[in-house]
Amino acid sequence: MRFSSVFSVFALCASLAEASRKPQIPTRPVLTPAPYNSGKKFPDSAPRNKHKKCFVKPGKGENRDDAARIKTAFKKCNNGGTVVLDQSYLVSSPLDLTFLKHVDVVITGEIHFNAKDVYYWASNSFKYDFQNMSTFWKWGGKDVNIYGDLSNGKSVIDGHGQAYWEEIVTNKSLLRPILFSIDGLKGGSMSNLRMRNSPNWFNIIANSSDIIISDLDIQAKSTGGVKIANSDGWDTYRSDNIVIQNSFVINTDDCVSFKPNSTNVIIQNLDCTGSHGISVGSLGQYANKTDIVENLYVYNITMTNAGDFARIKVWPGIQSSFQELLNGGGGLGYVRNVTYDTLHSINNDRAITITQCYGQKNQTLCEEHPANLTIEDVTIKNVWGTTSLSTDPEAGTLVCSAPDRCSNIRAQNITIDVPSGNTTEWECANVDESLLDINCVSTDGDRDTTNG
């Protein structure tokens, strides 16, 4: 009996020692859309098997490629398991992770994308026909939850965009990958992560539904004065029932952009700095193609030092040359039922922008070829703060290309101060000014509407 008792004590001690050596995995956060939701229920996430965990061990060497190791772990722990990325990884080849089903992904380490050869990624990344976009990897399937731990100082996904930004100084046609692509995911979440220096957009949510994003820290910062290109925080595309909330973004392009066929999307509780705003569009880029953006609610956003804030951008009815890889016009469709509510503007060039002349500097040409895509039932309300010296005393533009292309555009409780202290002005054309609680002035012809 005495020997048996001693053996039991040793066994217990060994078990406790083994348990202490196992890395602590944070519990999956319980994410709830708040205060608003789309009215559509998010599907329940199936329980995970607590004994089915795959810890990914990285390779060795500065030129390694951990892509295969990561994919092997997902194949092993798919269908009910948890993949843990708790060390430092280097991804040097594209990863197709669109086969996932009922899996959790814990990122408490760092994931870096190899930037030694930017032309490798230009050739080998996954391509999108839309706006010549490409991506390092694609995540899709059903019921996938990706999360980290912001308290540990890691939980980082880094695209090392500096090398790409330096290269496009002399080669503007270089294809640069998106940092994170959710593509074809039905039900899932992403939370408590840091994202750094994407070569292009940080995130695209494409061909997906029932996705909630929360508590992300996104930053694009260059060195040596190199200009950062694009760096959108999120772009939604052909997706429904999406919530993005409680996040912090420093970038140089749209904080959030609703691309074609984005429906039932909630954006709330964001702090954005240096961006081009919370943007519907651009839409109508591809001739005779139909773009629909409908049922959006944007709530409680602070925007600082940006080009625009609340923004809707539509291409004209004529082809227009804008940038090296971005041209278009003549598309069909509509924007409908969009609300911007509770917006704090701090030194942004324009607090409100509505244009149907995107990508075209000649406003007269846009009036001769009005947009084929209409804008209707838009409310922008409870907006306060300041704009910059850029267009003082003007604080924004609400300009449609013809009287029948926009309807029921409303601006309510708008209190924006311009630096000069003069009366704040708003450029208005082809909108019902009786629905606008702002000081409208007439347009002055040609204007530059080509800000990205």
For the annotated catalytic residues, the residue numbers are 276
Query: Do you know the residue count of the chain?
Result: 452
Q: Pick from 436, 445, 348, 432: which is nearest to 394 by CA?
A: 348
Contact 368, 326 (CB under 8 A): no
Six-digit token string for 187: 């039900």
Q: What angle do CA 399, 370, 264 make, to 5 degrees?
A: 70
Contact 424, 386 (CB under 8 A): no
DSSP 19-31: HHHSPPPPPPP--
Q: Would you call 52 helix, strand, or coil by DSSP?
A: coil
Q: Pick from 226, 211, 107: which is nearest to 235 by CA?
A: 211
Q: Pick from 124, 127, 76: which is nearest to 100 by CA?
A: 76
d(Cα 327, Cα 285) in Å, to the nearest integer? 7
Q: Would you call 18 helix, strand, or coil by DSSP?
A: helix
Q: Pick from 136, 145, 270: which is nearest to 215 by CA?
A: 270
**Using CB atoms within 10 A of its CB, is residue 355 exposed (0-12), middle (13-18) or buried (19+)?**
buried
Q: How far is CA 59 from CA 66, 69, 305, 372, in A?
A: 6, 8, 42, 53
Q: How far is CA 430 from CA 315, 326, 375, in A?
A: 16, 27, 11
Q: Would you call 270 helix, strand, or coil by DSSP?
A: strand
Half-sphere exposure of 293 (CA within 13 A, CB side): 29
Contact 405, 357 (CB under 8 A): no
d(Cα 150, Cα 148) in Å, to the nearest integer? 6
d(Cα 442, Cα 427) in Å, to the nearest integer? 6
Q: Would you call 201 helix, strand, or coil by DSSP?
A: coil
